[in-house]
Amino acid sequence: MVTETLADTATVWGWLAEVPDPEIPVISVVDLGIVREVRHEGDTLVVAVTPTYSGCPAVDVIDLEIDAHLRRRGVAKLRLERRLSPPWTTDWLSAEGREKLRAYGIAPPVDGTAGSRVQARAARLSGQPAVTVACPRCGSRATEKVSQHGSTPCKAAYRCTACLEPFDYFKCI
Amino acid sequence: MPSLPDMTTPNVEALAADARAPRPDPAETVPELKPALFEGLCRLGDSTLVLGHRLSEWCGKGPALEEDIALANIALDLIGHTQMWLGLAAEVEEAGRSADDLAYLRDAMRFRNLLLVELPNGDMARTLMRQFLFDAWHHEMLERLTGSDSARVAEIAVKALKEVRYHLERSSDLVIRLGDGTAESHRRMAGALDMLWPYTGEMFAGDGTDAALAEAGIAPDPASLHEAWHGIVTEVLEEATLGVPEGRADVQKGGRQGRHTEHLGYLLAEMQFLQRAYPGAEW
């Protein structure tokens, strides 16, 4: 008689930490904070995933990669759940994930600076940017926003006026 | 990872926890409301779908790479909102249709979007002014919907609002920069505003469907959004040296009841072509 043992959830979290984000492969889906829950329902493993941006085209690829990786690790019965609430926030990016982003050349989010009209207005009137983002290459804070939107929905385009390099900023949401 | 409270945004965790708290969801418990709810969800989802599609028309043709990317990103957000609104509409309808069926297989007279969003892009001035007038309404509408008695509606609004804050910030900035820019950019922005203004009143004109949803605590009475919208619009247009037009704002309407301009048909012909020609085709 064969007894199948289910992997405990801590082990599953470890496996999930091996799944890279398809757009920013230096961080994992766990670093990104989009895996919200791992649990068993009977012999089925359930993984709840939340989207970063509602229209992020990587969402389906992420589900596919999680599914494929967990099956490679021997999970036979698996269900992925799309969870909307509470909505994803950059606050959930792990400390380790932030360091990996910086090393990769993407400035990590400056917490507490999600878009707001009041802040935008203050920035306009004062001529000072609402957010100061440090250059991920040289560390200078002499940077400026080129565009609120970058190569993916979660990033803005910046440039460093000290080392003159353009870079992506993972904007706060 | 827990973090310090965010000073500049509402406490989304609390909002979401509140939205999740068990209370009777009229969307699920009051069958008589379903036709109005389906209609209301289509109005939201159709406006985000049609505007998302319009913005996607700029992809690869924007006047600057950054603008091209920004418009495509905003289009993506709006299409993401559409999947949520029309997805819920399809669930409420219980007719076996999916969000995709609603988007790709309805004809123009079944669409419930605002006329404002189906107007052709025109130049960048018109595209950006349309975006600003819409964003100011969209932002206010979503803020109010986060307090909906329907937890399903509220959770979508909480998610979408985070993105729409960035939309409004960007379109306000650009309206000010271009309105208070060169003589040419000012002339174009003023022309766009005059052309679009008569379409704005539709955002605040309620009907029986709106009254039923407001009564049930699902969505706000559209008229109640006007004051906040007008406040934002006045502030930005004045800073942009454009000023608020004096003409009537409620001249062009009917989109939310299915009476559209000729432009929507052309848009749908392009957007729906693939599903119409190859039913059920998938990537």
Residue in the block written with tokens 């950019």: B185
Query: What is the number of domains present in chain B?
Result: 1
**A56-60, A85-89, A99-103, B201-205: least confidently modelled range:** A56-60
Does any domain span residue B138? yes
Please say whether the beta carbons of B117 and B75 come within 8 A.
Answer: no
pLDDT at B31: 85
Mean predicted confidence (pLDDT) in A123-133: 70
CA distance A69 to chain B (A): 22
Substitution target from A149, A152, A170, A171 for chain B, most B beta carbons within 10 A: A149
Q: Which domain holds residue B110?
A: 30-277
**Do the Cβ atoms of A118 and B8 come closer than 8 Å?**
yes
Touching check for A118 and chain B: CB below 8 Å?
yes
Mean pLDDT (chain A) is 88
Q: What is d(CA A121, CA A52) in angstroms, rounded to the nearest whole number?
A: 26
Q: Minimal Cα–Cα distance from A4 to chain B, Å?
A: 33
Backbone angles phi, psi at A166, to 5 degrees: -80, 150
Rounded distance, CA B158 to CA B147, Å?
Answer: 9
Assign residue B267 the CATH number of its domain. 1.20.1260.10
ipTM: 0.85
B238 close contact with A: CB closer than 8 A: no
Smallest Cβ–Cβ distance between A91 and the set B1, B83, B84 belongs to: B1
Asked if the C-beta of A84 comes within 8 angstroms of chain B's C-beta atoms, the answer is yes
Is B230 contained in some domain?
A: yes
- For residue B18, how far is the Cα from the chain centroid? 24
* CB crowding A31-45: b at 16 or more within 10 Å, else e: bbbbbeebeeeeeeb
Q: What is the pLDDT along chain B (283 residues), one digit of tens a residue?
A: 444 444 455 566 666 665 555 556 777 778 889 999 999 999 999 999 999 999 999 999 999 998 999 999 999 999 999 999 999 999 999 999 999 999 999 999 999 999 999 999 999 999 999 999 999 999 999 999 999 999 999 999 999 999 999 999 999 999 999 999 999 999 999 999 999 999 999 999 999 999 999 999 999 999 999 999 999 999 999 999 999 999 999 999 999 999 999 999 999 999 999 999 999 998 7
Task: List the domains of chain A with CATH numbers.
Answer: 9-88 (3.30.300.130), 91-170 (no CATH)
In a domain, B96, yes or no: yes
Contact (Cβ atoms closer than 8 angstroms) between residue A11 and residue A2: no
Pick from A85, A113, A171: CB nearest B155: A85
